[in-house]
Amino acid sequence: MIHVQNLSKYYGSRAAIQNLNFTIHKGEVVGFLGPNGAGKTTTMKMLTGFMKPSAGKIEIAGFDVTKNPLEVKKKLGYLPETPPIYMDMTVKNYLNYVADLKAVPKKEKKQNIYATLESLKLADVKDRLIQNLSKGFRQRVGIAQALVSNPEVLVLDEPTVGLDPKQVAEFREIIKKLKGSHTIILSTHILQEVQASCERVIIINEGQIVAQNTIEALTQAVQKSNTQSEPNHQVRVYLKVSRPSDDFRSFLNSQSYISSIHFQGSQYEIQCENKEEHFETIVKNVMEQKLGFQEFRKEQLMLEDVFVKLTQNVPQEGVH
C-alpha cells in the first residue's frame, strides 16, 4: 500500500531524513516512533505530498506521490500536528467543506459525515462553532477531518495530543475499528500509543530508521542483545513479603550477584543479575524464613527501554 524507497530530505546540506526504506501493507497499523526532531513530521509531510523529497520515491496505492499527487491525495487522510480547523465554522459545515475538498461523491458525502460524527462522538456538537469547543474536541474534529473522506490511507501526526485519558481510550477504539479496512501510519513520541494501537513499529532517530519490526520481536531482540553483550546484565526485581526481617536483609546483602537493595514498607526493590538460579535462591530463602511470601516480580523490558536503547546507540545488528 505504501512503499518508500531511499527517501531523503535535505535542508541545505543538513540531512533531515536519510535513506528511509519501508513498506506498509494494506490494513496495517504502523507506529512511527522517534524522539522529537527525529524527522517524523518531515516524513509525514512527504508522504502526504505536501513536501517534495530531495531524493527517493514514495508510492501510495500504486501512485507515485511526486508524479501523481492529486490521485494520491484523494486516497489520503492527513491529520497534521496542528489540526487544520477553521474556528469560525460549525463542525458539520467544516466536515462538509473537507469532504468537498477531497472530492467525495455527493451520494456518499452525507453518510460519511454522519458516520464520522457518530464514531468520534461529535454528533452533539455538530452545530457549534469550532472556536467554542474545548481542545480535546478540536483535536477530535481534526481526526474527523482526516476520516471524513473515508480514505484508504490515514496519516496521523501526534493524534492524541490534547486528549484526556478517556478520549485517548476512545481514540484507540476508533483505530481498532479502522484496522484492517484502512492503512494507518501513526506518528508519535508516546510509547503507550504505539503499544496500544500498532502492530508494527518503525523507530527513527536522527533521520534514519534504527529499527522496524513487531513490538514483541523488537523487545526480544533487544533483550537478547543485552544478555549477549553484558553477561552480567542487571535487572530490577520486586519482592513483597508480609513480615520483613533483618535476617533476610542481611542475607540479601551477603549475596554477590545483588548490586543494590532498596527497602520500603514491605517491599524490596532489588537490582541483581538476570539469572534464574539467583531468583530461585531468593524466593527459597523467603520461604525458609517464613516471611509470608506475597509477590515476586521481574521488571519487564518495555518498548520504552527498546526505544531508549535504540535512539541512544548506533543501529543494532539483529534488530532489523
Residue 242's contacts (CB-CB under 8 Å, 6 or more residues apart) are: 266, 291, 292, 294
Q: How far apart are CA 205 and CA 39, in angstroms?
A: 8
User: Does position 114 bind other proteins by CB under 8 A?
Assistant: no
Picking from 209, 39, 41, the residue whose alpha carbon sits closest to that of residue 201 is: 209
Closer Cβ to other proteins, 82 or 227, answer by number: 82
Q: Which of 86, 238, 257, 296 is the binder for other proteins (CB under 8 A)?
A: 86
**Could you tell me the three cell numbers for 251?**
542475607
Residues in the chain: 320
Q: Which of 31, 38, 63, 73 is the binder for other proteins (CB under 8 A)?
A: 73
Q: Which of 100, 118, 164, 280 is the binder for other proteins (CB under 8 A)?
A: 100
* Alpha carbon distance, N-terminus to C-terminus of the chain: 21
Displacement of CA 208 from its chain's centroid (Å) = 17
**Could you tell me the three cell numbers for 310?**
535504540
Closer Cβ to other proteins, 101 or 287, answer by number: 101
Pick the piece of the chain touching other proteins (CB under 8 A) from 79-87, 247-255, 294-302, 305-313: 79-87
Closer Cβ to other proteins, 65 or 222, answer by number: 65
Residue 221's contacts (CB-CB under 8 Å, 6 or more residues apart) are: 213, 316, 318, 319
Closer Cβ to other proteins, 85 or 291, answer by number: 85
Q: Which of 62, 67, 101, 224 is the binder for other proteins (CB under 8 A)?
A: 101
E runs forming strands in the chain: 2-11, 14-24, 29-33, 55-60, 63-64, 76-79, 153-157, 183-188, 200-205, 208-214, 234-241, 258-264, 267-273, 293-298
Site string for other proteins, 37-66 (x = CB under 8 A): -----------xxxxx--------------
Residue 42's contacts (CB-CB under 8 Å, 6 or more residues apart) are: 9, 16, 17, 51
Closer Cβ to other proteins, 34 or 151, answer by number: 151
Q: Which of 38, 76, 210, 291 is the binder for other proteins (CB under 8 A)?
A: 76
User: Does position 74 bind other proteins by CB under 8 A?
Assistant: yes
Q: Which of 97, 257, 263, 293 is the binder for other proteins (CB under 8 A)?
A: 97
Pick the piece of the chain touching other proteins (CB under 8 A) from 89-97, 198-206, 256-264, 304-312: 89-97
User: Hunting for cell 494520491 — which residue is that?
Assistant: 72
Query: What is the DSSP track for 126-156?
Result: TTSBGGGS-HHHHHHHHHHHHHTT--SEEEE
**Residue 30 Cβ, how far from other proteins at the closest point, in Å?**
19
Query: Cβ(46)–Cβ(52) under 8 Å?
Result: yes
Which residues from 135-174 bind other proteins, rule CB under 8 A?
A: 145
Pick the piece of the chain touching other proteins (CB under 8 A) from 29-37, 84-92, 203-211, 277-285: 84-92
User: Does position 98 bind other proteins by CB under 8 A?
Assistant: yes
Pick the piece of the chain touching other proteins (CB under 8 A) from 17-25, 77-85, 187-195, 202-210: 77-85
Phi-psi region of 308 (alpha: psi -120 to 50; beta: other; left: phi over 0): alpha
**Residue 189 Cβ, how far from other proteins at the closest point, in Å?**
19
> Interface residues with other proteins (CB under 8 A)?
48-52, 69-71, 73-74, 76, 78, 80, 82, 84-89, 93, 97-98, 100-103, 145
